Structure 1
Amino acid sequence: MIAHLPMYDVPANRAAHRRLWQALQDHLPDAPNFTQPSVDLMVDWLSPELYLSQTCGLPYRAALHGQVQLIATPDNQIPNCPPGYYCSVLLARRGAVPDLAANDFTLAYNEPLSQSGWAAPQSIGLTGATRLQTGGHAASARAVLEGRADLAAVDALTWHFLTRDWDKAAGLEICAITPATPTLPYITALGQNAAALREALRQAILSIGLKDRQTLQIFDLVEINAEAYLQLPLPPTP
């Protein structure tokens, strides 16, 4: 079985992630142990062996809808967003914000199938005259700090972790924030019991200590239906 939480598995979160998974196994004794994600996450997400993972809203509506079940969406308590929703922050070098109206800047983004890194800035017209694909949100922030790009779209939760863990984050500033959209949902294969997973995962989140919930910035689950994800438009290809 495939079981992982790949999206925010930064080093400072790994111990808390493992305790969350142990709590899930306490509520579902048949739950498998953590597995290592494939290089291509889409392979894992589409596998009939998928037990639990977390995906992004854009790959869900572009490729996974009808192929997987939504379990639930985490409540990360993102400021100024409803429960279960998040936004992206547009980052520039401190004191060097480009002219956003002119759109004459280099935009760093993690990948084309990213709601927060690619679709969100497109939705507010920040396309960039040129673009730099970096492979990850932290890499996009680093590209701006190093002068290889002028602007980066990073989801608000990643930015929270960067400001917590990265001593150079103070060299960046937020120059725009995108509208809120449903955050990254937990998913399972069509043959799994999504309702049982939802209840066990909720109980696991509530049973780990407050410190672990704050570390992971996960405080509860929200049930957001598929239509809330599917109503968002697919962005143009970079």
Structure 2
Amino acid sequence: MIAALPMYARPETAGATARLWTAIRDALGEGPERLTEAGDLRALWEAPDLLLAQTCGLPYRARLADRVALVGTPDFGLPGCAPGWYRSVYVTRADGPDDLDALPAPRLAVNEALSQSGWAAPAAHFAATGRSFGAVTITGAHAASAAAVAEGAADLAALDAQTWRLIARHDPVAQGLKVIGATPPSPGLPLITARGDDAARIARAVAAGIAALSPDDRAALDLRGLVAIPSAVYLAQPAAPPLPAA
């Protein structure tokens, strides 16, 4: 069996994440002793022996919904969002404009094309307001997008609000950045298991594991609990447009 929680992994929270998994495993009564270090995420998410992993809303609806079972969605208590929902925050350089409208066609740093927070949400938001991006650069990670903006290689990045919360808490790059807006909320990053596994039983174990965390570990991970967001809600989100040609 495989279990992995890669989406918000940071060295500063590795201990709390390991203890979370131990608590979930104890509640389940089975599972690997340690979390798998994620490499190829698509292979991880589609592994036939997957017990538990976290994915992003866009890969879930674009590729995984009919291949995996939905367990639930962690709630990080993000401002302006319903439990289990999240949004992207727009960051620019600390010495840049305070208003998103002051960047008429910003150069956008994107972690990857199959990212709800980094690409799909800002693309839908800009299209709804009749705006467009200038050049789009793929960086490979939200942290790299933040660095690209701080270094002047891009004007704007749309970062998962929980990722930004962790960057602001732990990463010196945040000192060179500021938030100038946010996208509308969408369903947060869901937990999945292999199709055929008892997702409801796993969800109960995840909820019990979160509840068993110490206050310090819960605060380090910003976890409030587990929410049941139906698959249909994920599938109803707007499709992501293709990235502009380089």
Q: For this structure pair, what is the TM-score category when the shorter chain's length is used for normalisation?
A: over 0.9
1:5-51 CA-partner distances (Å, limit 9, x unpaired) = 00011001100001011111211221223343453201111121111
1:164 corresponds to 2:169: yes
Identity %: 45
Letter in 2 for 1:185: P
Distance between the aligned counterparts of 1:89 and 1:72, measured in 2?
23
Q: The residue matched to 1:124 in structure 2 has which SS?
A: helix
Tell me which amino acid in the other structure corresponds to 2:68.
Answer: V
Q: What are the equivalent positions in structure 2 for 1:70-109 lying under 5 Å apart?
A: 70-97=70-97, 100=101, 103-109=104-110
Q: 1:37 to 1:234 in 2, by over 3 A?
A: farther
User: Aligned to 1:168, what secondary structure does the other structure show?
Assistant: helix
Checking the alignment, whether the CA contact within 8 Å between 2:72 and 2:190 is kept in structure 1 is yes
Quote the residue 1:21 is aligned against: 21
Shift of 1:94: 1.2
- Structure-1 separation of matches of 2:75 and 2:103: 36
Say whether residues 1:122 and 2:123 are aligned partners.
yes
In structure 1, stretches of 5+ residues that fail to align are none
RMSD: 1.5
- 1:112 maps to 113
Whichever residue aligns with residue 221 of structure 1, its letter is: L
One-letter code of the match for 1:71?
V
* SS of 2:172 mapped into structure 1: coil
Match of 1:226 among 223, 227, 231: 231
Counterpart-to-counterpart distance in 2, 1:169 and 1:226: 34
Query: Residues 10, 90 of structure 1: CA spacing in aligned structure 2 closer, same or farther, 3 A cutoff?
Result: same
Residues 128-207 of structure 1 correspond to what in structure 2 (within 5 A)? 128-207=133-212
Structure 2 counterpart of 1:130, one-letter code = A
Partners of 1:61 and 1:229 within 8 A in 2: yes
Q: Distance in 1 between matches of 2:47 and 2:132?
A: 33
Query: How far did residue 101 of structure 1 move?
Result: 6.6
Q: Could you tell me how far 1:99 is from its partner in structure 2?
A: 6.3
Give the letter for the 1:180 counterpart. Answer: P
Distance 1:106 1:232 in 2: 25
Cα-to-partner distance string for 1:170-218 (whole Å, 9 max, x where unaligned): 2111111000101000000012111110001100100111110110111
> Which is further off, 66-75 or 92-101?
92-101
* Per-residue Cα deviation, 1:54-74 (whole angstroms, up to 9, x for no partner): 000000000001100110101
Give 1:4-19 correspondences, 5 Å limit: 4-19=4-19
Paired residue secondary structure (1:80): coil
Q: Judging changes above 3 Å, is the alpha-carbon distance between structure 1 residues 95 and 32 closer, same or farther for their aligned structure 2 residues?
A: same
Shifted more, 179-188 versus 121-130: the winner is: 121-130
Return 53-62 or 228-237, whichever deviates more. 228-237
| Cα separation, 1, equivalents of 2:195 and 2:36 | 21
Q: Is the 8 A contact 2:100 2:181 kept in 1?
A: no
Q: Deviations over 1:96-130 (max 9, x none)?
A: 13864764221001000100000111011164110
